[in-house]
Structure 1
Amino acid sequence: MMSILRQALTVVGTGCLTLSAWATQHLVSPGDDWSRLAPRLKPGDEIVLMPGRHIAAYFEDLHGASDKPIIIRPLSRDHPVLIGAREQGLHLVRPRHVIIRDIQVVGASGNGINMDDGGIDPDKTPDAQPWPANVRLERVSVLRTGPVGNHDGIKISGLSGVYLIECIVEGWGGSAVDLVGCKDVTIERCEFRGLLDFSQDNGVQAKGGSTDITILECIFRDAGKRAINAGGSTGLRFFRPPVPVDAAPGSRFEAERITIERCLFVGGDCAVAFVGARGVTVHACTVVNPRMWAFRILQETDDSRFGPCQRGVLTSNLVVWNQETIRQPWNIGPGVDAGSFVLESNLWWGGEGQRRLELPGRVGSDEVTDLNPLLDEKFRPQAPGARGYGRPGE
């Protein structure tokens, strides 16, 4: 009998359905101020956005449980909902065990979706770690953010345990996804599309001490100046954990342990920039027709506590560019340890009569530089000897 009661839906008041003694569906009509639900929400509850255009929302300390997450979703996937943003569409401060599904955020002048730890004082909390969020965004679209300046599609600061699955970001000012001081983040099967008249500095950026970031099976189309900015330049107060005044020389990095795998990059100025980062791996990716470079190795801080950009690894990638517009696919700036990079089993093609390549680091004997991969309309190599390189075909 109890199991039947737990599954029953009973109207208990305007806009509210009880799922059980422990969980409630809160139905939100277009135009409702759904931020006001905050004090009523408990683990297992669902915020159900009814079809139509909704206003922005702000929540602090929205806490579900590992087995009872709080879910924000539309009535069904067949009834899409739109959040018409002004400055921000959705802002979560110190969230925990939250799932957001199947919504669109459109037209934010600030950030489309913002999730953060509420900020810390590094002098008072010198050992502060990223907030254990365990937040998932599934099939979320963030469109036309900015359009110019440091205005991100999805901005995540000081959180750990974040998953972006099958999301779309189209048109933004700063970064499509900006990770600052984050840990254990997975971005999987997402698509990032640049638009005209949007400044689009980066597609995905991970900096401020971000670690253990996985970018898997994503598509970047004209995704700005740096489709992936692995590292960067961050104000010290935004690092998680904070950077001690007495940190050993060369012991800190803007980002560490980033894996970029089975991704497609089409157009844009540069596919991947390694910037003050250590241990970034690019594996089985396809890069097609970047406008300026395929890859960059840079250092944007001269603080002695930070080590030079180092230990990047590139394996099984396919890189195609037009040598009439790009002389070399690599750009290497000063103050980096390019010699520590490792390149193995990559295919490089700039066209017939290709110039001698200048590749950084320890280059394996199996680099291929004389084979036209014969890409099809989906950028899959058709040449028999090229089919083991780049993003696996569908």
Structure 2
Amino acid sequence: LAEVKPGDEIIFPAGFHVAQVINGLQGTREKPIFIRSRDRIPAAVACDGDGWVFRRCKHVVVENIMFLSPRGAAVVIDGRDGEVAPEQPWPAEFTLRSCTINGARVNTEQDAVRLQSVTNVRIDQVQVEGWNDAAVEIVNSRRVLVRGLMMVPNNTLTQNVGIKVLGDSGLISVTGCAFNKTIRTGVQVGTPCPGGDVKFAPAVDQIRIDRCIFDGVGTGVSIVNVRDLVLSRATLINPTDAVYAIPEDAGTISKVLVEKCLAFWVPGALAKFSPHPERILPPSVTLSDNLWYSIELPVAWEVLGAPFGFQSAAQLTTLDPGIDTTTLRPRNGEALRYGAHSIAATQGKRLPDDPVDSDPAPVAPTRQP
């Protein structure tokens, strides 16, 4: 690695390769360092604990690599100097693209991808097949894009959370991702605060969840500790616990917007619509126009509870979207105004200086027979 220069490519042939810690590998904005497979069949990294750990690396692109059997995180992007977190996140300018993570071993704290104290990171078109705690965990990191993440649960593992955003993180964009069955929580936004003590942990600042599909998850989005969250154009099919939820140990809840979303569930599938502690007031959450449909409505509102938040527009509950069970796309043309397949005049507002030019088509989750 000492001989690697900006603009170089590190190419791995097909076959098995070792897990390793990579310290201080740095390209430049004009000449990033590429790490990739030589062949169409990806090179495989045999993970023991963690797989590849990138510490204080900058301007690196990792693409078309397969990570097998991690007991820890398959990929770690860490901006800390040892265990000491910097005052400002490390400017990693790091891209993880078109990689696969498979065969995680049982470990309650295992994540597929872990970001710690970094900024300017892109996780693009990555597939995770089985994990324990989180498919992607983002801690004290800013300006992170997670795009086209495909999460395929394994029946033998817990799959607690799809994407977990913790600590003093902010400017996070999650777009075009597929949250598949048995995931307990699709996205967790923020670190819990025991007893609601907002001084316990900082709130996540600015996160947008856009054009994602949640198919058969427990809770779509857990709103824990956040300022400025936008949940836009999401499709939620048969959630079991809640469409969105604010837990009892929530901290700061401010400027949450739910817009153009579509939720559909069969009678009896959903426990509560949007559970929340009484101390959280409705103005904390704003509901723009959304489509919520089940044949059990409106009678079931007495059991589910009405959608929590201030309703700035009417919530449509009488239009059957006619969900296609293969593509999860509404057959009813009027319902195409809502959800991940929505036909929108604009692509919606972006985070400042968003490095992505356009959104990908939403990813349809792999369905089990």
Larger RCO (CA within 8 A; separation ≥ 6): 2
Partner of 1:115 in structure 2? 77
What is the CA–CA distance in structure 1 between the aligned matches of 2:52 and 2:234, rounded to whole Å? Answer: 32
TM-score normalised to the size of structure 1?
0.80
Unaligned runs of 5+ in 1: 1-37, 236-248, 302-306
Tell me if the contact between 1:149 and 1:173 (Cα under 8 Å) persists in the aligned partners. Answer: yes
Which of 54, 62, 69 aligns to 2:17? It is 54
Inter-CA distance 362–46: structure 2 relative to 1 (3 Å threshold): same
Deviation at 1:252, TM superposition (A): 6.6
**Residue 278 of structure 1 is aligned with which of 218, 227, 235?**
227
Unaligned runs of 5+ residues in structure 2 are 343-360, 362-369
Q: Which of 91, 94, 98 pairs up with 2:53?
A: 91
Please say if residues 207 and 234 of structure 1, whose CA atoms lie closer than 8 Å, have aligned partners that are also in contact.
Answer: no
Structure 2 equivalent of residue 298 of structure 1 = 247
Cα distance in structure 2, aligned partners of 1:41 and 1:145: 31
Match of 2:73, as an amino acid? N
**Mean alpha-carbon deviation: is it higher for 185-194 or for 379-388?**
379-388
1:1-394 maps to which residues of 2 (within 5 A)?
38-76=1-39, 78-119=40-81, 128-222=87-181, 224-233=183-192, 253-298=202-247, 300=249, 308-333=252-277, 335-354=279-298, 355-356=300-301, 357-377=305-325, 378-392=327-341
- Aligned-CA RMSD value: 2.3
> Which whole-Å deviations, capped at 9, do the CAs of 1:280-306 have from their partners, x for residues lacking one?
1110110001121111113536xxxxx
Query: Residue type of the partner of 1:373?
Result: P
Q: Whole-Å Cα distance in 1 between the matches of residues 230 and 297 of structure 2? A: 30
After TM superposition, the score normalised by the length of structure 2 is 0.85
Paired position in structure 1 for 2:367: none
Q: Percent identity?
A: 24
CA distance in 2, matches of 1:367, 1:250: 35
Residue 352 of structure 2 corresponds to none
* Equivalent-residue separation in structure 2 for 1:251 and 1:109 (angstroms): 30
1:33 is matched with which residue?
Answer: none
Looking at structure 2, the residues matched to 178 and 185 of structure 1 have their Cα atoms a distance apart, in angstroms, of 11
Change (3 A) 1:104 1:342: same
- Which SS does the other structure have where 1:298 is aligned? coil
CA deviation string 1:24-82 (max 9, x = no partner): xxxxxxxxxxxxxx222221121100111111121111111111111110113x23211
How many aligned positions are there?
Answer: 336
The CA distance in 1 between the partners of 2:199 and 2:164, in whole Å, is: 22
Amino acid in the other structure paired with 2:317: T
Query: Are the structure 2 counterparts of residues 254 and 120 from structure 1 closer, same or farther at C-alpha, using a change threshold of 3 Å?
Result: farther
1:209-229 C-alpha deviation (Å, 9 max, x unpaired): 110000011111026211111
Deviation at 1:155, TM superposition (A): 0.6
